[in-house]
């Protein structure tokens, strides 16, 4: 179906490499951590879900501990606040693009490298 001569392998190779370089430079240039193109709605969804899920987990833990230890309702109250704090922390991490690890500052790159090899 194709009348043209197929391009030589060297040519293809060079073109593939050019594309790869372009992609690489773009990936390094544009800062993306969570790599998520954000629309307004997507952002709202994301923040809402982060907040709600941490809060739900906190309240859930509190409720279970209360049932187990019979300290109703005090642990649930405590864990409600801890859960909200965790939710805010998760939102902060998601929005500042430092990844899901603990802490609230970006990890120093060097530590990461030495750890990884």
Partner 1 sequence: MASPLEQFEVHTLAPIQIGGINASFTNASFYMALAVVAVTAFLVLGMRKAALVPGRWQSMAEILYDFVGGMIRDNAGHDARPFFPFVFTLFMFILFANLIGLIPGAFAVTSHIVVTFALAAVVFLGVTLVALAKHGVKFFSYFLPPDTPLYMAPLLVPIEVISYLARPVTLALRLFANMMAGHTMLHVFAGFVILLGVFGIAPLAVIVALYVLELLVALLQAYVFAILTCLYLHDALHLH
Q: Which residue has the tokens 């049932």?
A: 67
Inter-residue contact 104 to 92 (CB < 8 Å): yes
Nearer to partner 1, 6 or 70 (CB): 6
- Interface of this chain with partner 1, residues 78 to 107, rule: CB under 8 A: 79, 82-83, 85-87, 89-90, 99-104, 107
Rounded to a whole number of angstroms, the distance between the first and last alpha carbons of the chain is 50
Contact criterion met (CB below 8 Å) for 117 and 81:
no
Length of the chain in residues, anyone? 117
- Our CA angle for 106, 110, 112, nearest 5°, is 70
User: What x-and-dash track marks residues 44-83 binding partner 1 by CB under 8 A?
Assistant: -xx--xx-xxx-xxx--x-----------------x--xx
Contact footprint for partner 1 (CB under 8 A):
6, 9, 12, 27, 34-37, 42, 45-46, 49-50, 52-54, 56-58, 61, 79, 82-83, 85-87, 89-90, 99-104, 107, 111-112, 115-116
């Amino acid at each position: 179906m194709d009348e043209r001569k197929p391009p030589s392998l060297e040519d293809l190779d060079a073109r593939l490499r050019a594309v790869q370089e372009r992609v690489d430079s773009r990936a390094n240039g544009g800062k993306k951590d969570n790599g998520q193109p954000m629309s307004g709605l997507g952002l709202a969804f994301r923040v809402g879900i982060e907040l709600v899920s941490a809060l739900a987990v906190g309240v859930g833990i509190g409720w279970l501990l209360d049932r187990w230890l019979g300290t109703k309702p005090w642990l649930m109250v405590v864990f409600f606040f801890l859960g909200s704090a965790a939710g805010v922390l998760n939102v902060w991490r998601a929005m500042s693009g430092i990844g899901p690890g603990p802490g609230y500052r970006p990890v120093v790159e060097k530590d990461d490298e030495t750890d990884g090899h």
